[in-house]
Chains A and B, each alone.
Chain A
Amino acid sequence: MLFSRSTLLRVAGMVLVPLTVFAGESTLQPDTAPDGNQLKKLTIETIHLNSENPDKGFVLHGRESRLQLLVTGLMDNGKLADYTRQVKYQSVPAGLIKIDENGYITPFLNGVVKIIVKGPNGLESKTKLDIRDTTKSRRINFTNQIVPIFTKLGCNSGGCHGKASGQNGFRLSLLGFEPKEDFEHLVIEGKGRRLSPAAPDQSLLLLKAAGIVPHGGGSRIDHDSPTFELLSRWIKQGMPFGKIGDPKVTKIIVSPTHRLMSQKQKQQLAVTAIYTDGSTKDVTRLVQYESNEKEMAEVSKTGLVELGKTAGQVAVMIRFQDQVTVFRATIPHGAPIEKKLIVKNFIDELVQKTLKTLELSSSQPCDDATFVRRASIDITGRLPTPTETKNFLENSDPKKREKWIHSLLESPGYSDYFANKWNAILRNKRRTNNSMRGNFLLHSWIRQSFQENKSYDLFAKEIITASGDIARTPAVTWFREVKNQEDQVQDVAQIFLGVRLQCAQCHHHPFEKWSQQDYYGFAAFFSQMGRKPGSQTGEEIIFHQPGIPAAINPKTKLPVRATGLGTGVIDIPPDQDPRVSLADWMAQKDNPFFARMLVNRYWKHFLGRGLVEPEDDMRITNPPTNPELLDALAKHFIDNGYDLKNLIYTICESQTYQRSSLPNKYNSKDSQTFSRYYAKRLTAEVLLDAIDQVTNVNTIFPGQPEGIRAVQLPDDSFNSDSYFLSLFGRPNNDSASESERTNDANLAQSLHLINSPMIYKKISNPKGRAVVLANDKSLTDEEKVRELYSWVYSRQPDNNELKVFLDYIDFKRRSSDKTTTLQDQVRIGYQDTLWALINSKEFLFNH
């Protein structure tokens, strides 16, 4: 139903024209129906840029050219909607062009044609088109016209001919990134048996592609399609490659770039390629489309985006030759928005802006008991003690939450926990006993950096430029794992810039604009690193070798000078360590990657999900869910001198961080927009420490001082000794990726928590909390249960919960018989109680 009855009443005075306007033509059923809103205006949008004067119309050159019209409707509530398939197209004079019902134009004859677009409510729009050169037969350019066909049809994908080993003896470059190679494979290889210029339609290439002869990939094109015709014509022309001066694609633009849409709505996209000679070409049906969330949006080969039933944000990546761009759709949830929301700082302002656009309602602020525990876990990796909890809950200071954040940041727990985090990112791995000194020194240095709140740019610089002996510069240890140029490029780019450069090592990055040249330009920063044996076995000294930094691109075999990502060549005098220049470039205020990467990483740490996901995969085709917030956080971070504690404080004091994790009626499906806190399970170390704290029995780690917490462990070697830690996914520090830490569940974990000897021992330990409490004659059962609750949940039980446990303990008391004493039974009761509390989800999760 397009118009509800209430809408009709509301818009009294507007003339409603039924959709069957044009006699003799079929009824147009709108499939875009913004709720009850009226169409006010229709605009034809095309994105050819060579028209400065709209009156002159757009120009199409040649019979190969195409044009995708976009007809956009402006609704009376100000929203835009796609009407491309809801209008009738007419061209005058007839016969010069063909426009299909999707607004896609194919030119036939030269001339100027007027296009009239008729929509609902009697609305119209017009434009002009100037068709030229339809009789000219142009020499086909292989790179611009033929290679994209293989990408579009999937021939050169990594699943088929595009993989390194090709498919069934035929190889193409991945996604068409190397047209020269493709030309070799197609035209020259195999004595040219794949193409027959004398009988083009009989070429093996075409017979296979059309499925006329058996083809593992099936039939990819129809025998009578324009694509087949183009390929055939190219073969007929003698397979020209193209001349050196031929224009190349420099950019692609999509229209629209962003749209607010409703569930199940559709949007046609139009894509234009811009060439080195300034010419433009509509490539809407030549590009490859890929949605980044298939459940949320599907996109057809013709660029029609169709939304599913999920609200949120979705991006569609568009790829053409070596260029990429992205279309973003925002789909509101349709919930009523709160009128008055608490705003503590700019984070809340910007999150609320998105919540409003997405029509999401936010959950309530969390209560104090939840906050004291949540902040403690997120900042220090441990649970608060009952004393801390009690003091906090009874404190009436309106600023107590802010003060709690500050005290957590100033506690040793903060340095421990964040050293643990960065230890894994910086691959602090114990491989042999000889590596132990380096492991301990690196961990210690990292921890010290957080203790003294070293600014992040300095922290990064000290790591990247680390030189000398491990004893004096512990960060040199990092280069032990990050050994060769490959590792250095990949880790630095991923950790500090959020760019996954590794794909570009062997070919152009499939999802980004980075080329192999960019990869080796970045690698050049590490080309002057020398190593020699250090003062102890198994250690190395890193030093700078003077010289002009450059890395050899294996494809061109030429050296590439040092470039930052997206910059020109950076001039580095031969006696300066190029890594210093790299660190300086990263820390520049206008560096688009460095600050954004860190704030995204920390945002994910606290809020459970990065503004970009995965957190270290920031690219055009993976846009942030809240670009303004990401920019604002980055700017705030830079303006405050890359102060990490300040960043954490800013995040934790925000209302966004302090929302309850409980969904309300409307926001349980939200997982991107922070309308509530997203609960996360305690990580391996934190969980083990929590169990130790709650049971009051510490785990002993071999070779470490007694009482050491799992988050304080200096490297990954303890994973092999501790079944618990490896079982719950503590990373082996094998990669720079925080996703190496796995947070999946499995059967073995459940068995372990329910029934392991370790749990049994901690719970039944005579000096452990359960037994000590059980034996304590000075407290009542209720007081004991309350204390356990405080340790485990940082809150008090309500009456129902109290009853459950008090009943249970009584039940155990009543079950004493000849074999067990009353006191034994009481101990059993408390052990079982503590066991149950530890196995409950509220304990196992940070919520």
Chain B
Amino acid sequence: MLTIYGANNRMCDGISRRNFIQIGALGMGGLTMPQLLQAEKNSTLGKSGKAIIMIYLPGGPPHQDMYEIKTDAPSEIRGEFSPIKTNVPGIEICEHLPRMAKIMDKLVLVRSLVGAENSHSSYQCMTGRISENRGTPPPGGWPELGSVLSKIKGPTHPAVPAYVNLSHKSKHGEYNFGRNSFLGVAHTPFKPAGDIRYDMTLNGVSLDRLADRRQLLQSFDSFRRDVDGSGLMKGMDSFNEQAFDVLTSSKLLKALDVEQEDPKLRDRYGRGSARPERDAAPMHMDQFLVARRLVEAGVRCVTVSFGYWDWHGKNFWNGRRYIPPFDQGVSALVEDLHQRGLDKDVSVVAWGEFGRTPKINKEGGRDHWPRVSCALLAGGGMRAGQAIGSTNRLGEEPKERPVHVQEVFSTLYHNLGIDANKTHIKDLADRPHYLVDGYNPIPEVT
């Protein structure tokens, strides 16, 4: 067995650089000292706090083929899909969303979403703000919802990142998210499908050898931590501890491991595959299940990218292909959350960057239509079983109750107990920014 050595503890005036570290006392940690303290305050071991699961639909789903079939429009606008009744009288949705129809009482549809910036990018769905393509974000860029939560609330537990991004890298760069922002790399999401995945399984060493290395490090890395007044060294020590945990066995790894779930439940979600659809995202319903596991482990925000929705051609052929798995995955997730009693605490939002053109083009597809789009909400203690707003006869623009993108953000923050109009974060020039620009939570649901 390896013996651990260290210098004797000499408390003389700056003579010895080496002291023993107390292993384990450094188990609680955060990023900077303030967050270290924040995580300690927040520590709800094993319990899920309030959380958000955001499902990004890259390419922008056709609002008129999802939640509000334009039955009164001429056929070149209405298209091929028919509406079906849901379990909420008065609300009808696309025939290819039958499972959602059965649980409409647990869902909120926003049918007249406005404010889209008209960029083929996840930026606005993730940050609620206009990107560089159309506006001038502050230097460093606006932070995504998860990054904001990471900053203002910190992790619920030191071993569990506040923001996890499950998406894989899309070929179309602008679909990708988990961006850095003016809040810094400390608040970028933990991305198991990113480069870090290579670091999460042992590379070239066995578990035993890792254990030997760990002991060796601990036996001599006694460099005095009080040399660093900022607390960074202590923070790094605690992240080291967590890293070893991840590599050996951990809360986080377990949460990510979908194999631990009942196969029947996985089937209910639909499993899916990790293979990306065209230049967008895979239809990987297992990720919704993992998202649920992650929020149970204490992650505050999980983001997933799902499917391919940029149907410039063969709109209805594509719809028949991409809508049903979405229907299956999301309905399973919402039901699962309700069954586990998580529906009050966990909010779900599913949306894309814009809607699609009313007039079907000559390839049988629809093109980009930022004037109006749609969103699906669930959980978060919201008053469900509603369809908010509607578009005009041809589905061109809101007929009543336009809902701005930032109202959705305001609502999500509200569900987490944050007043988005009173909370602020500072950018690189120390200028404070509120989380939204004066938009209130949607009164119909809160």
Contacts and interface: CB of A to CB of B under 8 A. Distances in A.
Interface of A: 158-159, 163-165, 363-364, 490, 494, 500, 502-503, 614, 617, 660-665, 668-671, 678-679, 681, 723, 726-729, 732, 734-737, 739-740, 742-752, 754-757, 759-760, 764, 798, 800-801, 803-805, 807-808, 811, 828, 832-833, 835-836, 839-842, 844-845, 847
Nearest to B203: A760
A665 B212 CA distance: 35
A679 B196 contact: no
Nearest to B210: A755
22 contacts: A159-B424, A364-B14, A662-B226, A668-B229, A678-B229, A726-B185, A737-B428, A739-B428, A742-B184, A751-B200, A751-B246, A752-B199, A755-B200, A755-B247, A756-B198, A757-B199, A764-B204, A801-B18, A836-B216, A839-B221, A841-B225, A845-B227
Interface string B250-277: 0000000000000000000000000000
B240 A750 contact: yes
B418 interface: no
A839 B217 contact: yes
Contact of A749 (B161, B225, B230, B239): B239
B17 A662 contact: yes
B5 A800 contact: yes
B31 A732 contact: no
B172 interface: no
Contacts of B7: 798, 800
Given A757-B203, A839-B217, A746 B430 contact: no
Contacts of A661: 227
B186 A746 contact: yes
A804 B216 contact: yes
Contacts of A490: 429
A741 B376 CA distance: 37
Contacts of A811: 2
B202 A755 contact: yes
B13 A847 contact: no
A833 B185 contact: no
Contacts of B425: none
Interface in B84-116: none
A726 B180 contact: yes
B195 interface: yes
B239 A746 contact: yes
The 4 closest A-B pairs by CB, nearest first: A735-B139, A744-B186, A742-B184, A165-B438
Given A747-B161, A750-B240, A363 B226 contact: no
A617 B430 contact: yes
A740 B181 CA distance: 9
Interface in B387-446: 422, 424, 428-432, 434, 437-438
A642 B200 CA distance: 50
Most chain B CB atoms below 10 A, which of A739, A747, A804: A747
B317 interface: no
A800 B227 contact: no
A159 B184 contact: no
B220 interface: yes
Nearest to B202: A755
B340 interface: no
B438 A663 contact: no
B17 A755 contact: no
B431 A502 contact: yes
Given A727-B185, A737-B139, 10 more contacts: A662-B17, A663-B226, A735-B428, A757-B199, A803-B5, A804-B220, A832-B216, A840-B217, A840-B223, A845-B228
B22 interface: no
B307 interface: no
A669 B99 CA distance: 61
Contact of A836 (B6, B220, B247): B220
A744 B216 contact: no
B37 interface: no
Contacts of A844: 236
Contact of B217 (A747, A836, A845): A836
B15 to A, nearest CB: 9
B228 A746 contact: no
A494 B228 CA distance: 29
Contact of B139 (A734, A754, A835, A840): A734
B235 interface: yes
A732 B216 contact: no
B23 interface: no
Given A750-B239, A836-B216, A841-B225, A744 B430 contact: no
B430 A500 contact: yes
A744 B141 CA distance: 18
A76 to B, nearest CB: 33
Contacts of B2: 807-808, 811
B185 A614 contact: no
B213 interface: yes
B242 A662 contact: no
Nearest to B3: A807
Contact of B220 (A723, A726, A739, A840): A840
A502 to B, nearest CB: 6
Given A500-B430, A679-B227, A836-B213, A734 B141 contact: yes
Contact of A679 (B200, B228, B240, B424): B228
Contact of A500 (B18, B219, B429, B438): B429
B243 A747 contact: yes
B302 to A, nearest CB: 16
A835 B213 contact: yes
Contacts of B230: 671, 678
B209 A828 contact: yes
Contacts of B6: 800
A749 B238 CA distance: 12
Nearest to A803: B5
Contacts of B212: 832
Nearest to B186: A744
B224 interface: yes
Interface string B34-55: 0000000000000000000000
Given A746-B186, A755-B247, A798-B7, A614 B430 contact: yes
Nearest to B140: A734
Contacts of B316: none
Contacts of A494: 429
Contact of A745 (B3, B202, B239): B239
B32 interface: yes
A503 B431 contact: yes
Contacts of A840: 217, 220-221, 223
Nearest to A614: B430
B190 interface: yes
A333 B438 CA distance: 46
Nearest to A743: B232
Contacts of A839: 217, 221, 240
A694 to B, nearest CB: 16
Contacts of B237: 841
A754 B438 CA distance: 45
A364 B139 contact: no
B205 interface: yes
A833 B199 contact: no
A807 B224 contact: no
Contacts of A832: 209, 212-213, 216
B216 A740 contact: no
A841 B432 CA distance: 34
A637 B342 CA distance: 63
A642 to B, nearest CB: 26
Nearest to A749: B239
B31 A746 contact: yes
B31 to A, nearest CB: 5
Contacts of B235: 744-745
B322 interface: no
Contacts of A723: 195
A747 B430 contact: no
